[in-house]
Amino acid sequence: MEKAIKFSIENKQFVKALKTATKVINRKNALPILSSVKLTMQDGRLTMTSGNSEAFITQPLADFALLDGPKEWAVCCDPATLISALGEIGDHRLIIDISTENTMLVQYTLSEQTAGKFSLPVDEAVEYPTPQGVKAVGDEQPTEFRLPADWLLREVQNARQSVASDELRPVMNAICLDSDQEGLCLVASDGHTLYTTRYEWGLGNPDGPFIRSGEPRQVLMDKQMLSALQDCFGQTEQVTIRSNGQRVEVTADGGACISCACCEQRYPNWRSVIPQNMPYAVTVEMRALLSALRRVNPFSSDSSNLVKLSFEGSVLTVTAEDIDFNRAASENVQLQDTNLPAQFAIGLKNSSLMSMLQVAAKTENVVISLADATRAILIRPEDCKDSTTALCMPMLLNDK
């Protein structure tokens, strides 16, 4: 360092940013510098950057004060050491001195009688890679649109239940944002369940079409990005999403930015997976059904987690059985409405069914659409204006 640097910052904010930063830091990196976080002071703003070969997070640190030193600088430091050292300090301010010998001295005062300090090395940030931006590809401009942050964060959290962990098909490890000029569909699927919901931009919006630049496209957000979204944009009203098919970038007006390389594969035709013309439907109170599923769950097979739903008139019987250990449980749930034929039964994976019920039930009652025991079921809120749909694939029943 050519000049010493001194600044203060609130400890809880600093530790929170460090923990968020580590979500994209790999244990082993081709570039050793990527094991560090980069602190940058520029244009009166302090930011923290972390990343790997494909993804980067940039977070603004608002509650700080530059006490001495140049107005523009950048250093790299070890986040793991800082998190361990600062974890027990609580809601106190830190005084951080970075010397010309590339040493960071952190001082804190807990009370009039208790104060402490520690030091650790820092590195020059010259070798730290600059995150790639989302640029035009030839004559094609990046696709750009804006979303309410609370809607995106809520629906991403719901959709994460259906994101896969598939090494052979990495495209399934992403959430798909399928955009058009009226809004977008948010989709996630692991092959056994599917979650989708739609954000409607609305007709005649004075701000123009939903897509600000570029053409409608599928924007894929890898699961590595998802865990950091809440941390970076939890206090934000609007986020801007840009993608050129090679990279996707989520930004906010406050300076927060998450960027990631796009998967080279194309997302499957998810619309073709959703069954059409389902002849039967039942309406049931979500909490009653979910509670019954939880109570019978300990009695299901550890290998299959199979639960049987049997419908007879206005009564749904939830049954779980583990033949190997001679245990079984069943419980009746009252249906609000049904047009199912007598003695209709279907097998489902209980954990998947419970997950889909929780994310799709945005009203007190849910509507479950069915066709037969070999076709997927659809779960939707009772409110017909809500576009949320959850899908569960059936399992084979071994009834004799």
- pLDDT, mean over the chain: 92
Among positive and negative, which fits the CA dihedral 347, 348, 349, 350? negative
Query: For 12-51, what is each residue's pLDDT tens digit?
Result: 999 999 999 999 999 888 899 999 999 999 999 999 999 9
Task: Put residue 186 in one of left, alpha, beta given phi > 0 → left and psi -120 to 50 → alpha.
Answer: beta
CA angle 133, 9, 21 (to 5 degrees): 40
Average pLDDT over residues 380-400: 86
What's the CATH number of domain 143-272, 3.10.150.10, 3.40.190.170, 3.90.1150.10, 3.40.50.10800? 3.10.150.10
> Of 69, 76, 85, whose CA–CA distance to 117 is shortest?
85
Q: What is the pLDDT of residue 308?
A: 97
For CA atoms 64, 69, 72, 74, the dihedral sign is negative
Neighbouring CB atoms inside 10 A of 37's CB total 25
**What is the CB neighbour count within 10 angstroms for residue 57?**
29
pLDDT reading at 400 higher than 70: no
Report the C-alpha gap between 308 and 348 in whole angstroms. 6
| 175-224: pLDDT as tens digits | 999 999 889 999 999 999 999 999 988 655 556 688 899 999 999 998 88
pLDDT in tens, 110-119: 998 889 999 9
Structural domain boundaries in the chain? 5-124, 143-272, 275-395
Report which of residues 237 and 208 the model is more confident about: 237
Q: Calculate mean pLDDT across residues 67-74.
A: 94
- pLDDT the model gives residue 24: 93
- With bands split at pLDDT 50, 70 and 90, how would you rate the model's confidence at 329? very high
As a whole number, mean pLDDT of residues 296-312 equals 95
In this structure, which topology does domain 275-395 adopt according to CATH? Answer: DNA Polymerase III; Chain A, domain 2 (3.10.150)
Residue 206 has a pLDDT of 57
Query: Residue range 222-237: average pLDDT?
Result: 89
Indicate if the alpha-carbon torsion angle 333, 336, 341, 342 is positive or negative: positive
Q: What is the pLDDT of residues 110-159, one digit of tens each?
A: 998 889 999 999 999 999 999 888 998 888 999 999 999 999 999 999 99
- The CATH class for the domain spanning 5-124 reads alpha beta
